[in-house]
């Protein structure tokens, strides 16, 4: 088994809009994709430590007719190019194209997108981290047994104020989430070394 599909490899599962990039109302223009400061550096640090990186995104604008799947593909090509310029390679981008009234298995907080990522990469979702700015991201993390982190970017500050979800931790942004994940994993390793 390749180390890229090893169950021991840990993953960080990332929401897109409001977490990695500035929230736009139904982003439909690749030129309007704007990463938050520090996102590339943060993901590069996690990647360098061996984490897999996958994006999980609800894109109901497709079902609503605001844009098509080809437009989303162009946005994701630009996302990968922007991250690639900082030495980051995503392991996958998984999207739900359905509307909230469709009874699909993939719209967060349902677990279909995680199931797809696990099928492709063979990791244990209970050892993963889910980072997002909405209650659906945090609820997804709980649903698969992962550690959910809420960022205050995008809709995150509102979710924190409303106490609409129960994250393991609330952090300012994705860079702070990466710091927390690094510390968390370092603490786990120290406990394993110190155990009899």
Contact status, residue 125 vs residue 145, Cβ threshold 8 Å = yes
Give the H or E element holding residue 58: strand 52-58
Q: CB-hemisphere CA count at 13 Å for 40? A: 13
Closest CA to 94 of 14, 178, 37, 10: 14
pLDDT number for residue 61: 86
**Does residue 6 fall inside a structural domain?**
no
Pull the structure tokens for residue 56.
């999980």
Quick: pLDDT tens for 102-128. Answer: 999 999 999 999 999 999 999 999 999
Residue 2 has pLDDT above 50, yes or no: no
pLDDT at position 82: 98
Residue 186: per-residue pLDDT: 81
Note whether residue 55 is domain-resident: yes
Q: Closest Cα partner for 24 from 153, 139, 182?
A: 153
Residue pair 131/151 in contact by the 8 Å Cβ criterion:
yes
Distance CA 4, CA 92 (A): 12
Give the pLDDT confidence of 3-43 residue by residue, as tens digits: 455 668 999 999 999 999 999 989 889 999 999 999 999 99
Q: What is the pLDDT of the chain when averaged over all its residues?
A: 93
pLDDT for 6 equals: 64
Is 7 inside any structural domain? Answer: no
Asked if the structure places residue 8 within a domain, the reply is: no
**Whole-number pLDDT of residue 192:** 57
- Write out the residue range of the structural domain in which residue 73 sits: 13-107+117-194
pLDDT grade for 191, boundaries at 50, 70 and 90:
low
**In contact, 124 and 7? CB cutoff 8 Å:** yes
Active site (catalytic) residues: 15, 17
The pLDDT value given to residue 8: 81
Three-state DSSP class for residue 3: helix
The H or E element that residue 150 is part of is strand 147-151
Q: Is residue 1 part of a domain?
A: no
Residue 78 lies in a domain: yes
**Spatial contact of 134 and 15, defined as CB atoms under 8 Å apart:** yes
Tell me how many domains the chain contains: 1
Identify whether 81 is part of a domain: yes
Distance of alpha carbon 1 from alpha carbon 88, whole angstroms: 23
CATH number at residue 128: 3.40.50.1000
Q: Is the pLDDT of residue 75 over 80?
A: yes
Contact by Cβ (8 Å): 18, 138: no
């Amino acid at each position: 088994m390749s180390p890229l599909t090893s169950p021991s490899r840990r993953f960080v599962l990332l929401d897109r809009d409001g977490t990695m990039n500035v929230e736009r109302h139904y982003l439909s223009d690749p030129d309007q994709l704007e990463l938050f400061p520090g996102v590339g550096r943060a993901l590069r640090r996690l990647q360098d430590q061996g984490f897999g990186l996958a994006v999980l995104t609800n894109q109901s604008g497709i079902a609503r007719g605001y844009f098509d799947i080809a437009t989303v593909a162009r946005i994701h090509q630009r996302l990968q190019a922007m991250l690639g310029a900082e030495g980051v390679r995503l392991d996958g981008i998984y999207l739900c194209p359905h509307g909230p009234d469709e009874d699909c298995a993939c719209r967060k907080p349902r677990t279909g997108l995680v199931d797809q990522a696990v099928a492709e990469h063979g990791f244990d979702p209970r050892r993963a981290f889910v980072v997002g700015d909405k209650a659906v991201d945090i609820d997804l993390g709980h649903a698969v047994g992962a550690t959910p982190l809420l960022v205050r970017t995008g809709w995150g500050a509102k979710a924190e104020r409303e106490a609409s979800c129960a994250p393991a931790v609330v952090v300012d942004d994705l860079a702070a989430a990466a710091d927390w994940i690094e510390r968390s994993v370092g603490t786990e390793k120290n406990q394993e070394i110190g155990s009899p």
